Structure 1
Amino acid sequence: MSSYLAVLRLPSAARTFATALIGRLSYGTVVLSMTLALASGHGSVGRAGAVVAVFALSVAALAPLRARLIDRHGIRRVLLPLALSYAAALLGITAATWRPGAPLWLLEALALAAGATAPPLGPTMRTLWRTMCGDDQALMQRAFSLDTVAEEVIGVSGPLLVGVLILVANPAVGVLLSAVLVAVGTVAMMTSPVVGLASTGVRAPGGGLGTRTGRVRHRGSLSRIAEPVFAATGVGLGLGAQSLAIVAFAMRHHQPSAIAWADAGMSVGSILGGLAYGTIHWPIPGRTRLPLLTVALGLSIGAAGLAPNVWTLTAITTATGLFVSPLMTCAYLVGDELAAEQSRTSAGMWVNNAYNAGSSAGYAAMGPVLARLPLSGCFALAAAPVVLAAGAARIWRFRIAKATPSAEVAITEAPAPASAAV
């Protein structure tokens, strides 16, 4: 834990991270809150699903554009207007669902507006970690691990918070809470000195804050970060497919509670694995580590198909979770390493989006398979894209290395002025 305390003791780190987490908690509460509010207001889960689908698709489709705007125009100029617009759209959904009767077109329009303006708080926070950690790679690894574990905790605690809230309040209150969280968190985050430094390219080598000026000649395309994007896509596909296979396992064993146990085991394993990963000094570079972690995750997903009972399945999913946060941390780090200096937020968003898109696609694809294959075959099929993604990332690395034998980088560094320290 002392290593994580060192991260939080960086100038302005605890303040910036805490405010970002407040805003990011909105993403842990908004989907379930919106679904419950819409279903309550319209009495139709199908209509609720349609509106939430509009929201989710617009979030994913426009995510790279929002990240690119931040890279191009700076965090303060873009993130705050996005967050306030997003909060306003959620307030509109709150008002429209507070009482039944709102037309479907209005709900879909508000969901589209919310999804289109959803602020990329996670990728932005990882950009800020880079600013705070400078060129200290060990510090970066701990910071990214802490960040990934925090996302895992938000993914678990957000729905639990909504579940408690709807026991005492109108379901639309959850959407209102999501709006308040993102607005308060982002506004508070903007007051951090680190945000101003990141917007001007100021960064400290070896930790702390300093001034960095320079010029990097690069290949400005998605191909630069294809390795972590391949890995994240495969992981999303595998875990999305596995989650539906776990539901089928529980139903066929007549133990619906197995779903909750397996999911809980996965989350606990991911949190523990992420915390451990950040403290280890790895003898091999991240680009070599990434496919190894991906293969390990794929094999553990496949092993779940051998489980004879609920308790064995829970043990295996817990072991699977041990690789999830470390793998995503490694993917974010590799993406940050490979990205051009002025495209780091976009790189993080592409990795994040690849995982989310893969998860949705894997879940959808597993449905028709469950009726045709035994459970062991379903889990093996879920493991396949993860292992294949590791191979694709490795092949791409060799292809790029062959095409570009040397990178052209010209960087000049200046010492930090006394006024830069915060």
Structure 2
Amino acid sequence: MPRPSTAVGYRALLLVPGVARAFAAASLARLSYAIVALAFLLTTLRATGSYAVAGLALGAFGAVGVVAPLKSRLVDRRGPRRVLPALAAAYATALLATVAAAYAKVGEPAVYVAAALAAGLAAPPVGPSMRAIWAELVPEPDGRQRAYALDAAVEEVLFAGGPALVGVIVMWSDAAAALTLSAALALAGTVGLAFSPAAGARARPTSPARSSLVGPLRSRDLRTLVGAVMGFGLGLGQVEVAVAARAEQAGQPGATGYLLAGLAAGSAVGGLVWGRLTHRRRTSTYLIGLALVLAAGSAGAAVMPALPGLGAVLFAMGAAVAPTLVIAWLVADRLVPDAERVEAGTWINTASNIGTSLGTALAGFAVERASAATPLLLGAGAFALTAAFVAVAGRRRFDQVLGARR
């Protein structure tokens, strides 16, 4: 069983020379990402008057996220200081172009879709870049686990609070102001991260030991891990839509934000607790166990009649989310050379996002054709299948990478 670790604590991690500055900068950029989706949606909606156009623009922004590993490959090979600021400048420019079009009352849908595509293509890989810095500065396994847990917890808190911040800004100004703030945060945070002293260790260009068009995906083990993470995302995407549908059916659509914030809060707490423990079982055992916890939580949420009870289940269920990502990042680190670390970490995020998008689309059909509980049951099935996939395809692969710590 896991037990408390005597490794360096969270406060001590932030006192590692260079970490605080880099992490603060990365957090600013991540807050930009927490704001941008809702701010872009509302800005486009007000400018065009069309939910369809706003949804199409936001979908375009998310769809081009599949190129994120290629951007991360540039960071690996050319260094963060040459790549991240350029991407941040292009990203902020695309967002500000959207703001300018909205204030000029441009109603042409193509303008907003094109801006969304440009922003999505340029979005800097901040999270993977920060985790590569963690890996350089905290090489000891337990310390790195704790660093990744802190990283995941802070990201969860930011993404839970981002939409609320947009709501406050819209109350006092408008969505375009929130989008302007997102652009400013992205530019300041990403440039601050790239030029932080901690990024200096990765400032020099590197070359992988064996160049390949598919990069780290040439590793069958990494492909297996990516498939497992996609399965987790598939389940979570269905949960998010189902929660919104349940709140709507209960006549409290505003409760959706609070319920999903509970899921994020559970994830943050779970990540911090997980990082404080020393794990002595096999990596695959933990992944299977976490998938089964998520399956049980999703099934329990499907039969929970009242929203307060649903919130409690979601909080408990969320406790398994961040630990899953932490394990995936740690395994990915060990599967690839250091020179491909950013790209490998980005594949974990990309797999999660693709799975979530597929789950969201499937859940929409399930709600319309059946009930709000159906996606939760489908999500439980997706998590259970992921557990089976790890048991069959990943047990030896992942355990050979990390093994049981002694």
TM-score past 0.5 threshold: yes
In structure 2, the residue matched to 1:79 is 84
Distance 1:199 1:287 in 2: 34
Distance 1:118 1:291 in 2: 33
Tell me, yes or no, if structure 1 residue 32 matches structure 2 residue 29.
no
Distance 1:341 1:155 in 2: 28
Label 1:310 to 1:226 Cα distance change in 2 as closer, same or farther (>3 A).
same
In structure 2, the residue matched to 1:410 is none
**Is the 2:284–2:395 Cα contact (8 Å) retained in structure 1?**
no
1:336-415 maps to which residues of 2 (within 5 A)? Answer: 336-373=333-370, 377-397=374-394
**Is the 1:98–1:170 Cα contact (8 Å) retained in structure 2?**
no
List per-residue Cα deviations over 1:151-178 (Å, max 9, x = no partner): 1011111111111111222321111111
Choose which of 48, 65, 68 in structure 1 pairs with 2:70. Answer: 65
List per-residue Cα deviations over 1:368-408 (Å, max 9, x = no partner): 22345455554221111112122223322357599xx99xx
In structure 1, the residue matched to 2:138 is 133
Structure 1 spans left out of the alignment, 5+ residues:
203-212, 407-422
In structure 2, the residue matched to 1:195 is 199
* SS, match of residue 171 in structure 2: coil
List per-residue Cα deviations over 1:15-56 (Å, max 9, x = no partner): 110011111211011111111111111122221222222222
Distance 2:364 2:208 in 1: 51
Label 1:220 to 1:237 Cα distance change in 2 as closer, same or farther (>3 A).
closer
List per-residue Cα deviations over 1:191-234 (Å, max 9, x = no partner): 222212123489xxxxxxxxxx9979998615231343223212
Distance 2:371 2:42 in 1: 34
Percent pairwise identity: 35
* SS, match of residue 166 in structure 1: helix
* Structure 1 length-normalised TM: 0.86
Tell me, yes or no, if structure 1 residue 144 matches structure 2 residue 144.
no
Give 1:330 deviation, angstroms: 1.5
**Is the 1:216–1:341 Cα contact (8 Å) retained in structure 2?**
no
Label 1:110 to 1:374 Cα distance change in 2 as closer, same or farther (>3 A).
closer
Distance 2:95 2:398 in 1: 46
Distance 2:114 2:319 in 1: 40
In structure 2, the residue matched to 1:298 is 295
**Is the 2:208–2:339 Cα contact (8 Å) retained in structure 1?**
no
**Is the 1:230–1:390 Cα contact (8 Å) retained in structure 2?**
no
**Is the 2:94–2:115 Cα contact (8 Å) retained in structure 1?**
yes
Distance 1:41 1:305 in 2: 38
Label 1:318 to 1:220 Cα distance change in 2 as closer, same or farther (>3 A).
closer
Choose which of 112, 116, 122 in structure 2 pairs with 1:117. Answer: 122
Structure 2 spans left out of the alignment, 5+ residues:
1-6, 402-406
In structure 1, the residue matched to 2:331 is 334
**Is the 1:230–1:393 Cα contact (8 Å) retained in structure 2?**
no
Choose which of 204, 223, 226 in structure 1 pairs with 2:223. Answer: 226
Corresponding letter in the other structure for 1:68: R
Tell me, yes or no, if structure 1 residue 278 matches structure 2 residue 283.
no
Distance 2:111 2:248 in 1: 38
Corresponding letter in the other structure for 2:125: P
Label 1:8 to 1:379 Cα distance change in 2 as closer, same or farther (>3 A).
same
Corresponding letter in the other structure for 1:172: A
* SS, match of residue 11 in structure 1: coil
Tell me, yes or no, if structure 1 residue 165 matches structure 2 residue 169.
yes
* SS, match of residue 31 in structure 1: helix
**Is the 2:221–2:335 Cα contact (8 Å) retained in structure 1?**
yes
Label 1:356 to 1:223 Cα distance change in 2 as closer, same or farther (>3 A).
same
Larger radius of gyration: 1
Corresponding letter in the other structure for 1:149: A
Label 1:399 to 1:271 Cα distance change in 2 as closer, same or farther (>3 A).
closer
**Is the 1:231–1:294 Cα contact (8 Å) retained in structure 2?**
no
List per-residue Cα deviations over 1:129-166 (Å, max 9, x = no partner): 001102x0111011000100111011111111111111
Give 1:85 deviation, angstroms: 1.2
Distance 1:156 1:291 in 2: 26
Corresponding letter in the other structure for 1:196: G
Distance 1:308 1:287 in 2: 34
**Is the 1:41–1:99 Cα contact (8 Å) retained in structure 2?**
no
1:208-227 maps to which residues of 2 (within 5 A)? Answer: 221-227=218-224
* SS, match of residue 279 in structure 2: coil
Label 1:280 to 1:106 Cα distance change in 2 as closer, same or farther (>3 A).
same
**Is the 2:78–2:205 Cα contact (8 Å) retained in structure 1?**
no
What do you get for the CA RMSD once the two structures are aligned?
2.8
Give 1:126 deviation, angstroms: 0.6
In structure 2, the residue matched to 1:42 is 48
